[in-house]
Amino acid sequence: MTADLWDRTGVPVPVELPTVEDTEALGRRLAGMLQAGDLLVLTGPLGAGKTALVRGLGAGLGVSGRVTSPTFVLARQHRGPLPLLHVDAYRLRDAAATSGRPVTLDDLDLEEALTDGVAAVEWGEGLVEGLVDAWLEVRLERADDDLRTARVRPVGARWGV
Ligand SMILES: Nc1ncnc2c1ncn2[C@@H]1O[C@H](COP(=O)(O)OP(=O)(O)OP(=O)(O)O)[C@@H](O)[C@H]1O
Ligand SMILES: [Mg+2]
């Protein structure tokens, strides 16, 4: 089940992603591991490839609609056999500033989305952890030579580590 993305103790095995297609392929690979209720938390700097990974995830899940950066919306729901909620929490800060009140992930109906589907949250580190008891942290790094690497860390009993 672990698909060799992490070792027996849950330590990620780094995956090198020379091209954007490799990043999308990792998303498709993750899609094959997911069931309703699963959450991906995507971390990594601007342009690391978080949205590219979600694009592959959406392709692997067979959901409808193009996966793009949700620039003007915080989240986008994609219909499919296993529906996908794609959240970009980076904009939560702007939304909070504009609305004058803190915006929480409750506003995004994350829990509702997870009852029959999956969710992928960009910039979700530190926001979603209190809402669920298991998730996959996908950490994308970009080295000085532009080589990108992913590390997938399983959290919670769901993943058996
Ligand atoms: N190996 C790679 N993996 C992912 N993206 C790559 C790779 N090589 C080049 N790129 C390019 O880097 C950019 C990554 O953009 P993407 O929107 O996926 O990043 P992001 O992490 O979602 O950024 P943001 O923090 O702004 O949401 C794209 O233009 C993509 O074509
Ligand atoms: Mg993005």
Q: Is 69 in the pocket of ligand 1 (CB under 6 A)?
A: yes
> Cα–Cα distance between 42 and 51 in angstroms, integer?
9
What would the pLDDT profile of 101-121 be if each residue is shown by its tens digit?
A: 766 767 778 889 999 999 999
Cα-Cα-Cα-Cα dihedral sign, residues 110, 30, 74, 134: positive
Q: How far is the CA of 100 from the centre of ligand 1 (A)?
A: 31
Tell whether pTM > 0.75: yes
pLDDT at residue 71, as a whole number: 65
Residue ranges and CATH numbers for the domains of the chain are 33-156 (3.40.50.300)
- Kindly report the protein residue whose alpha carbon is nearest to atom 23 of ligand 1: 47
Kindly report the protein residue whose alpha carbon is nearest to atom 13 of ligand 1. Answer: 47
* pLDDT per position as a tens digit, 3-59: 599 999 999 999 999 999 999 999 999 999 999 999 999 999 999 999 999 999 999
The atom of ligand 1 lying closest to the CA of 52 is 18
